[in-house]
Amino acid sequence: MTQSTSPNKGWRVTFAGTGINLALGVLYTWSVIKAAIPDDWAWTAAQKSDPYAIAIFVFALAMIPAGRLQDKIGPRKVASIGGVMVALGCILAGLAGSSYVGFVVGFGVFGGIGIGFGYAAATPAAVKWFPASKTGLIAGLVVAGFGLASVYIAPIAQVLLNAYGVSTTMMIFGVAFFIIVVSLAQFLRNPPPGYVPVDLKADTRPTGIAASRPPVDMNWHQMIRTSTFWVFWTMYVFGAAAGLMVIGSAASMAKSSLGESAFIAVVVLAVGNAGGRILAGVVSDRIGRQWTLFLAFLLQGVMVLVPVFFGDNVTVLLIALLLIGACYGANLTLFPSATKDNFGLKSFGLNYGVMFTAWGVGGLILPRIAGMVKDATGNEDIAFYIASGLMVCGALLVLINQRFSRVQRSNSEKVADLAVG
């Protein structure tokens, strides 16, 4: 039964979630911070990647308890906890001075937990206010904030780093993000019990992943027993690994051609990242999640090789970074939408938290490999070849899964016909 609840509340929740993610997207500015770490800190290339890689992994793990909590106590409290934790993490990293361990614990662990809690609260709260036909669009708008954050944080970070250095910059970020995230968290609300959004346009378009009947609400125990979950989880690992590796190295890659303006590469990536999230949501609502994923995997598989062959050409490099960002950003819209489509809305917060561990695994492994490759060879070319190979594997998995889904639907329809007969 549809509640007499103002639809404006759903949009307020959506834009509050976008604003929270605009702050939490400080994660994507790590390449700017990494490039500013002084040589006298004596960190290796691999160590410079570790706070970022560990933050990604902890972020993903934190999504599980955060998803469970937001399903139980609501998104406002969970996002507020996130704001406190990310602020604490940045301040601890700032107080750590040149300590590698301090940055890993502060930015990596506490920052990762805070980002996970804030991120987990924003998207589920927003999509619950809207009908299925808008799932991709709303998810895209909310997560676009995370991808777009570097557009403003990267240049601000560059100014602060030049003026105050790494440690003070981290502490300034901590205070600022505490104020922003905790304030916006107060606008997050789940719909009232029994609320059913009005769908003015019946959702007859294929998602490319949904079953032939409305999805049964599954809890995470039931979800992880399905082959569908593991196929999408594996594809998510591949898509996240390639994108996060490039994001973590963008400023360093562009330093030879852009010099002190290397942060522009991070901004371009961010624009692509945010735009890809919204575009993928709209497109996938029309042509299906899987076809959109297939196209994103193929395009990213080509684009991640551009820095290897055309890294000194500023124009070509920036175009490639824009498209890599867009393809990566598509994952952050398509996989939450896929989770809702396949496993229902009742336990969506926790279910997507479990699915999101794939993002953490991808982000932990490939950026670390890229750092190790650079330490050993002086460049990251081999890591980019690996990333391209993962994209090809992801595209093949999409095709295999589509075939498997068609067979499943056909068998289900035959069983239903026999039962009727």
pLDDT tens-place string over residues 173-217: 999 999 999 999 999 988 887 777 766 555 444 444 444 344 578
Return phi, psi of residue 346, to 5°.
Answer: -55, -45
Amino acid present at 290: Q
Distance, in Å, from the CA atom of 274 to the CA atom of 153, rounded to the nearest integer, reads 14
Token pair of 176, please? Answer: 């600022």
- For residue 397, being part of any structural domain is answered with yes
Q: What is the pLDDT of residue 253?
A: 66
- For residue 206, being part of any structural domain is answered with no
Distance, in Å, from the CA atom of 217 to the CA atom of 197, rounded to the nearest integer, reads 17
Residue 411: burial class (beta carbons within 10 Å; 0-12, 13-18, 19+): exposed
Distance, in Å, from the CA atom of 415 to the CA atom of 418, rounded to the nearest integer, reads 5
Token pair of 117, please? Answer: 């809690």
Write the DSSP string, 20-59: HHHHHGGGGGHHHHHHHS-GGG---HHHHHHHHHHHHHHH
- For residue 210, being part of any structural domain is answered with no
- For residue 234, being part of any structural domain is answered with yes
Length of the chain: 421
| Inter-residue long-range contacts of 219-224, CB under 8 Å, 24+ positions, other chains counted | 219/346, 219/347, 219/350, 219/351, 220/347, 220/350, 220/351, 220/353, 220/354, 222/343, 223/343, 223/351, 223/354, 224/354
358: domain CATH number is 1.20.1250.20
Q: What is the pLDDT of residue 317?
A: 84
Distance, in Å, from the CA atom of 308 to the CA atom of 379, rounded to the nearest integer, reads 9
Rounded to an integer, the average pLDDT of 369-391 is 83
Q: Which of 83-97, 175-189, 208-222, 302-316 is predicted with the least confidence, judged by mean pLDDT?
A: 208-222
- For residue 305, being part of any structural domain is answered with yes
Please give the DSSP secondary-structure letter assigned to residue 251: H
Q: Give how far Cα 47 sits from Cα of 112, 270, 372, 389, Å.
A: 17, 24, 9, 25
Q: Give how far Cα 242 sits from Cα of 125, 237, 309, 367, 380, Å.
A: 28, 9, 17, 8, 12
Of 202, 188, 206, 243, give the one whose Cα is nearest residue 366.
Answer: 243
Q: What is the pLDDT of residue 84?
A: 96
- For residue 66, being part of any structural domain is answered with yes
Rounded to an integer, the average pLDDT of 240-250 is 80
Tell me the per-residue pLDDT of 44-68, one tens digit each, with 9 for 90 and over.
Answer: 888 888 898 899 889 989 988 988 8
Instruction: Give how many domains the chain has, as a whole number.
Output: 1
- For residue 204, being part of any structural domain is answered with no
Q: What is the pLDDT of residue 298?
A: 93
Rounded to an integer, the average pLDDT of 113-118 is 94
Of 150, 130, 63, give the one whose Cα is nearest residue 359.
Answer: 63
- For residue 194, being part of any structural domain is answered with no
- Domain extent at residue 174: 12-189+215-415
Distance, in Å, from the CA atom of 151 to the CA atom of 28, rounded to the nearest integer, reads 10
